[in-house]
Amino acid sequence: MWRSIPNECCTRRRKRLNLRIPFTLTLEDKDPMKNLRSAATAALVIMLFSAALAQKSAQHLLGADDLKKVVPSEFFFRGQKAPTQLRNSAGFQTADGKVAFAALVDVSGYSTSVQQKYQGMFVTEIKLNIGGSDLAPGAYGFGFTDKFVVMNIASDDVLTVPYQADADLKRPVPLNITEDGAGYRLFAGRKWVAIKPK
């Protein structure tokens, strides 16, 4: 709150204005309007800095640099490890800093029966609701077959839900996650399932 400045304050001496922030702004009293502008600018900078910090901790999609930090170069599934495809990975982070991400995997070394339903890896640090079914935190394999299937690392099904198809999607990519209100959509081409953090 601003108070009126007494006339004797309008001298050339400097006064300190404590704004309850981690620094003190020193203003020269000779031009009260300039002081007001300086204080307003400082307040604006503090508000923008606070907003940037708040956004960083808010739920958001992972960027390319974030994905490089979390996606492993190989993923163990059904008795062997296979290279992951960082270029075909996507994920998100919750407000409390926990992540969920998916990446396609090179499945060429697996048997035909495994290749039919295993397309990628899915890791989550939080409980998720996928297509109406709950998935506990963990590391999984997944695939889009006649349904969306999530498997434990032994290739046993732990979640099976129907998927949707977006015929109007302009540029389908092998794997992507997009925001969808309070949740997300995991896409493989035009096929997608809804994902909501719990």
Tokens of 67: 């994905």
Q: Of the candidates 120, 124, 148, 147, which has an alpha carbon nearest to the alpha carbon of residue 135?
A: 124
pLDDT digits over 10-68, tens only?
444 444 444 454 555 555 556 666 666 766 676 666 766 555 555 455 889 999 999 99
pLDDT score, position 41:
73
Within 10 Å of residue 123's Cβ, how many Cβ atoms?
18
pLDDT digits over 157-173, tens only?
999 999 999 999 999 99
Enumerate the domain spans of the chain: 7-57, 60-197
Name the H helices within the chain: 32-57, 64-70, 112-115
pLDDT digits over 1-25, tens only?
444 445 444 444 444 444 454 555 5
pLDDT digits over 78-136, tens only?
999 999 999 999 999 999 999 999 999 999 999 999 999 999 999 999 999 999 999 99
Cα angle 48, 51, 52; round to 5 = 85
Cα separation values, 109 from 16, 144, 190, 196, Å: 71, 19, 26, 33
Cα separation values, 151 from 117, 121, 143, Å: 9, 9, 9
Cα dihedral 138, 141, 144, 145, rounded to 10, equals: -120
